[in-house]
Amino acid sequence: MPELSVVIPTFNERDNVDELIARLDRALGATAWEAIFVDDDSPDDTAQALRALAQRDPRVRCLRRLRRRGLSSACIEGMLASSANYVAVMDADLQHDPTLLPQMLGALRAGRAELVIGSRYVVGGAVGDWQEKRLAISKLATRLAGLITSQPIADPMSGYFMLQRERFEELAPRLSSMGFKILLDIVATARPPLETLELPLLFGQRHAGESKLSTNVAWEFALLLADKLIGRWVPIRFLSFAFVGALGVAVHFLVLTTLLKGFGVAFLVAQAIATGTAIVYNYTLNNVLTYVDRPRRGHRWLTGLLSFAAICSIGAIANVGVASFMFERASAWPVAALAGILVGAVWNFAVSNVYTWRR
């Protein structure tokens, strides 16, 4: 039975996995280990490459997830598939030096820590040839991360770490599981804090392929922070949904005034066009922001839009119904209007959450 499971999330990493396994084999020597890859249905057929690898090497396994995206959730599901004493997470692209694994394992075995991090920001560690801008952003994010961790950690954004599987199992149900920052999620969730050790990591060059870090990363990071800070009281997806909706109101008014003042369109027609635009806009943005982990694509994008529009129409009826009910019972008009908006928003969110973006 393996003592160590190495969990490796992959998205388009076909040309890296053979080399990675070869290096793991060399680095880990006599240790009983296994590799659990979690692939989000990569278009480059990484899963197929992994299966070919697994047929030659029984230590290799691939979980293939369909219609899902997300580095954190992939790592979590990989770790949950492990029965080993220790689990590690590392990138597939060889930026994380496998020769650090025996040291990490040694520290855990000796009881010197419950969590060991490959850290770029301790003495001896480094980020390699990053551009100044990326370094500055990383440093800023690290400072912000300090808001939600209960212990000082030099590199809570590292994607390379190892911990006791049992400790992970305990906290797994409370993880946010959103975004790219699985380690930060773990250290912000653990109460009491995990005994942590940081080992210096020289962050290497990507072997093949390209980085998946996109502009979404900043948004997903913000969601994770918000979830840890206020998620206990308000579901974070609802906040995101409401944020998108507020922008949608601005879009509505922009279209409405343009049509009314700029083109002299009749009010009813202008209002209808503005409403339609706002619905498409809301749907599109929610699909990439609020539901970044399970966006609808291809023909499912279109059917999703139709269901979202239908749900919002009912929401609008509820909105107007509640607002006029309150208005007739002598509420001030802004109060009545806000109550209507709130009821409509909650309806739209609750129903589209389970229907349009169902799991």
Pick the closer one to ligand GDD by CB: 91 or 227: 91
Burial of 269 (0-12, 13-18, 19+ CB in 10 A): exposed
Of 40, 91, 185, 198, the one binding Mn ion (CB under 5 A) is: 91
What is the number of the residue whose Cβ is closest to ligand GDD?
159
Contact criterion met (CB below 8 Å) for 101 and 26: no
Query: CA quadruple 306, 308, 313, 314: dihedral positive or negative?
Result: positive
Of 17, 28, 76, 91, the one binding ligand GDD (CB under 6 A) is: 91
Of 40, 185, 198, 227, the one binding ligand GDD (CB under 6 A) is: 40
Query: CA quadruple 314, 316, 319, 320: dihedral positive or negative?
Result: negative
What residues numbered 61-80 form the site for ligand GDD, per CB under 6 A?
69-71, 74
Is residue 114 at the binding interface for ligand GDD, with CB under 6 A as the rule? no
Contact criterion met (CB below 8 Å) for 345 and 246: no
Q: Identify which range of 88-96, 190-198, 262-270, 277-285 contacts Mn ion by CB under 5 A.
A: 88-96
Pick the closer one to Mn ion by CB: 40 or 91: 91
Of 5, 6, 7, 11, the one binding ligand GDD (CB under 6 A) is: 11
Is residue 294 at the binding interface for ligand GDD, with CB under 6 A as the rule? no
Give residues with Cβ within 8 angstroms of 51, minimum separation 6.
62
Pick the closer one to ligand GDD by CB: 69 or 294: 69
Is residue 214 at the binding interface for ligand GDD, with CB under 6 A as the rule? no
Distance CA 190, CA 172 (A): 9
Is residue 153 at the binding interface for ligand GDD, with CB under 6 A as the rule? no
Least separation in angstroms between CB 242 and ligand GDD:
25
Distance CA 21, CA 82 (A): 18
> 136, 130, 120: which is closest to 183 by C-alpha?
120
Of 34, 93, 185, 227, the one binding ligand GDD (CB under 6 A) is: 93
Is residue 199 at the binding interface for ligand GDD, with CB under 6 A as the rule? no
> 302, 245, 252: which is closest to 273 by C-alpha?
252
Angle, vertex CA 64, rays to CA 58 and CA 67, nearest 5: 180
Instruction: Return residues touching ligand GDD (CB under 6 A).
Output: 9-11, 13, 38-40, 69-71, 74, 91-93, 95, 157-159, 180-181, 211-213
Instruction: Return residues touching Mn ion (CB under 5 A).
Output: 91, 93, 95
